[in-house]
Every structure is written in structure tokens, then in C-alpha cells.
Structure 1
């Protein structure tokens, strides 16, 4: 038996809680791990609350991130005792995830844990830092350097936004952080933001074309915020869209794209090939120090997950939440 956060949906309704689970209930997979650390992401909180149809099958163990120690492997890629890292691949949505003491997984989803990080540090980074790095790599591939001008990061107090601000700053970019929590301005400036922009300046309907300002954008919000970011991106600039905290809608015209040559990159972190994941984590290993990670993360136990998920959806959590198993 082992403990896990289990989500159920049946005649009794939708519910999530800490539950004792028999190991025989673990889903199919060629690698079984002892989970050392996981995270609580926005998507996990949506799954736990039932406020969005994240979970596909029930019962489900949420948790889109984990670091584990291999207990048993039928894969030639891994042996017992290896430390492995997982982000996404539908885990926590349609395959049992990391908010548990044990997990059984497909070896094709796993990377070796980078030597630069402890399990807790890797999970402090997690899907959020990995997604931020993928977004930055998209801007760099577009040719945007620090000399091109300001980079806007929306939803800057969240996990992806926090890492985007920190990583961009370390790479020498001038970062403008957009947030709905002005009381967190000092936190964002400590991460490296040169300026704080109130959310209200971007979150309402705006003009199809606005004054050119941003060389590039990392948007974690969607909806009107993403539309306004595109409308105010400079000629030939790029926008990396990786989140939907404000909404899935995109009320924009084609004007920024055909009159200013703006490029919109969609950043998917869930099904990204292993080669892209390895590249992103290599960059993270080179750029981040323990102090960077500690500044962005807080730690909770498995028992605290459900209550913390509610606070996360209410916008009361900044940065990253590590779940130490």
C-alpha cells in the first residue's frame, strides 16, 4: 500500500483526497518508481478542483511532474536506483501521476535527473521552468537578442512567469513583468524585472494595433492580454504563448501579423519530444543556481496538496510549489 492524492467521479460526485492505494492498482508501464518529489501546478489544481475537464479517466492520481528513484525497470534505458525526471506526456490527466508515493510509467516519457539538481530543486523548476525555457528558446530561435529591446512577461507571479523573468534576466534581457499583484513587485524585481506593469493595462479589450514596444513576449495568460501583447509587439518581433490563466479565447485581428510581421509561437510542453526536453533541461542546468530555485519555490507535504490547490486557483500562491514525498 502507498499514499496518493486520488480523484474520483461517480454517483457521489467529483472529489479528491489523500487515499491509501494498493500497488496492484498502478497502471501499466515498464518502469516503477518511488516518487521523491512532485509539484502542484495550475493544471493539477484544476484537476483536483474539477473546475476544468483536465482528467480524462477515473480514478486518477494527479501530478504532471515528478522525480523518482527506479524500483523496477523492464527498459534498457534505466536500472534500479536511477533517478528519473518526468514532465507532462498526459501523466496526471489520463495516466496516474506524481502526487503519490509510487508511480508506474512508460520509460519513453522519462529523462535522467540532471546532475546539477536535487529532486526537490528539479521539481521547484518542473514544468513551469521547463516551459519558460522552451519559450525563451523560441524567441532566441527567432533571432531576438538582448539588444533588440524589452521582453514582456505576462502572468509574471506564476510559476512559468517567475522563471521566465529570472531566466531572461540571467541572459541579459530587459524584462517588463506584467502582474495583477502589485504587492509582489519587490519579488519580481528581485527576480530581475526592470519594470512592473499592472495587469489592467493589458487585460481589457484594446485596439487592433497599438504603439510598438516589445521585442518579444512570453505570455502565460491568453485572452485579451495575449491580443494586446501581439498588438504592441514591434515589427518583426515574436510572441511565445504558453498559458491561459485569463482564458482560452484570443480576440485579436490579423493586423499585427500581416502589417508588422509579428510571429506567434505556440509552446506545448506536454508532448514535446525528448530531444527538445533534454535541450531545455541542459540550458536550465547551466543557468540556474540553487539560490534561484529557492527564491521561486515553497515546500508542502502530500497531506497539504488539496487545500493548497484551492489557494493556487484563488491566486494566493506565488512561484512554485514543491510537494516533498
Structure 2
């Protein structure tokens, strides 16, 4: 097979480099743990995406990569070229998100990738490879959050649902999904220039981060939200918990506001609310096979394709820098 382009990241003591270079299949860095599944797929990657975890993998101080060198990219969608698994054949369209991709095993920022068959999901009918990467890990996380609300009894007629950090990938896609499903989605963002975009995605209104913050001395506030998709964490999540209606559910997936949660037990024991943690990295395959057909069908926003901008491999370094500096907007799809 000919050489193919990849974003190649190397780090040694005292040096760090990130560049697009030509690779041969034998040069793809191996799985860091060395004990992954044996049945593999060789996938010709059509598209990947840019997530915050990818930005960390492309940073010398990101602390998510387990072993260098690495080809980052925690998401990919493409076509099976070779298969060691009876579950897939050459020509099958597949996607993969999370697991060890892009941190312990070379991922989607290359024209070809080796993917354990146990990590791959067949691309569902009604979803193109590019659309799958408009979602990517961000969309999958948003969908897991919406599913947690539904499983917690939050229905479209239950009342308004808050989405914090709504200008990010998870938040913006959660707003769009909730709106598609008939929920009254209230978006919270610290980026005033995103107001029009969020309203266009279906938000009933957009509020500032400051409007969410309550007096820490008053752990219970007015009962405002039937549920919430929290992409921020920290003190803001603590404030949100104190304003969720009786029996409501909060799905938490983010930590941009901090990892500490300065909250009390009062919202839980006096209002019976639920706080559900959302992990998209190791979500069981049965959940993935449940979620992706929904994202291809009933949950698919009408404007999904327009929610992302396409970039090339050599544009990733600048894109991840903007993301780490809090300057990114919306979703970025990497076109291979």
C-alpha cells in the first residue's frame, strides 16, 4: 500500500513535535497497553472530528496520551478495507468513537487506521460518514445525556430543560437534539456572539452563565428546570442542582468549570433529584448500537450537516490551539 498522510505527534524529554507526514501501515504506532482485542479492521478514514480531548492530545501538557508517538483523533468514520472479524467485510461503512483511539492507539487523523472490531459500529442507514463525524464523541455524549433525561422521566411536557456550556460541541448538539424531540431547551453560554446560532439550533432562549449562579449560602433556589444537560461542572453545576424541579434529572459530562462540586445533599434528599454521570469513552456496545440509529433517525436535527466546518489535516494544529484558548465555535470535521 502507498504512503498516506497522518498527523504525527512525538514527544521526548525536552521536545514535542506535531506535523503532517507520510506514513506506511507498518509505521502506525502500536496500542500502548499491548493487550487490546486481536480481531482488527483496517479502515480507510473518510472523516474525523475535533474534540477537546483531541486538543489535549495535541498539546505537550495535555496528559491524555499514554505513549508516544501517536496519531491523535478519538473519532473516525470510513470504509473497511481489511477485516479479521466475521462481523465486518471489506466495503462496510463503520464509525468508531472513544475507547483508546487517539490516546493509546493511533486514531482518526490519518487516511488509514487499524481499529479493533469490538470498537466499531456499523454506520446506520440515514447517516453519512461526514454526518457521523459532525456528531462524533460530542454528539454521542449529548445523546447519552438526552437518553439519561428520558430514562429519568423527563418528558417534553415536563418543563424547560437547561443546557450549560451550550456553545461547545456537546452543548450545541444537545440543544439541537432536545429541540428536535420537542423539549423546551434553554441554552446557557458565556459567549454572547453564539446567541443567534443557539436560537437557530432550536433554543427557546439563551441565558448567561451569571444568571445561573446562586448564592452558595442558599443551596436550594427556585425550582426552574425539569432537567439539565451540564457540560461545565464545578460551582455552576452546584447552582444548577439547587434549581432543578422536584424529581428532575441532571446529566453531567463536563469539567470546564472545575472538577470540585461545592454542593450539599439537600437537592437530592428534599427534592429527589438525580445526578447522572455521562461517560462516552467506554460506553457499552449495546448502548452505542441503541444510540447511533436514533442519531440517524428520530433524533437527527434537520440542519446537522451545516453544524460543522470542514478542515484539513494541516489545519488541526491551529484549530486545537483555538479550542484550548476557549476561542472555538461549533463543530470541526476533519476531511481526510
TM-score by length of 1: 0.96
2: CA distance between counterparts of 1:249 and 1:100?
A: 36
Which of residues 120, 145, 157 is equivalent to 1:147? 157
Q: Which residue does the alignment assign to 1:311?
A: 322
Deviations 1:130-181 (A, max 9, x none): 1111111111011111111110000101111111101101111111100011
Write the mapping of 1:230-269 to structure 2, written as runs, cut at 5 A: 230-269=241-280
Q: Which residue does the alignment assign to 1:8?
A: 10
2: CA distance between counterparts of 1:254 and 1:8?
A: 45
Q: Which residue does the alignment assign to 1:320?
A: 331
Aligned-pair distance for 1:295?
3.1
User: Kindly tell me: are residues 181 and 4 of structure 1, through their superposed partners in 2, closer, same or farther at Cα, counting changes over 3 Å?
Assistant: same
Checking the alignment, whether the CA contact within 8 Å between 1:202 and 1:229 is kept in structure 2 is: yes
SS in 2 for 1:287: coil
Q: Does 1:113 align with 2:123?
A: yes
Checking the alignment, whether the CA contact within 8 Å between 2:294 and 2:300 is kept in structure 1 is: no
2: CA distance between counterparts of 1:205 and 1:47?
A: 37
Write the mapping of 1:202-281 to structure 2, written as runs, cut at 5 A: 202=212, 206=216, 207-281=218-292
With 37-46 and 310-319 compared, the bigger mean Cα shift is at 310-319
User: Kindly tell me: are residues 289 and 227 of structure 1, through their superposed partners in 2, closer, same or farther at Cα, counting changes over 3 Å?
Assistant: closer
Q: Which residue does the alignment assign to 2:208?
A: 198
Aligned-pair distance for 1:113?
1.0
With 114-123 and 15-24 compared, the bigger mean Cα shift is at 15-24
Q: Which residue does the alignment assign to 1:293?
A: 304
User: Kindly tell me: are residues 15 and 215 of structure 1, through their superposed partners in 2, closer, same or farther at Cα, counting changes over 3 Å?
Assistant: same
Checking the alignment, whether the CA contact within 8 Å between 2:177 and 2:301 is kept in structure 1 is: no
Residues paired across the two proteins, number: 325
Deviations 1:96-129 (A, max 9, x none): 1101111111000001111212211111111111
TM-score by length of 2: 0.93
Deviations 1:173-210 (A, max 9, x none): 11110001112111111111111110123368733222
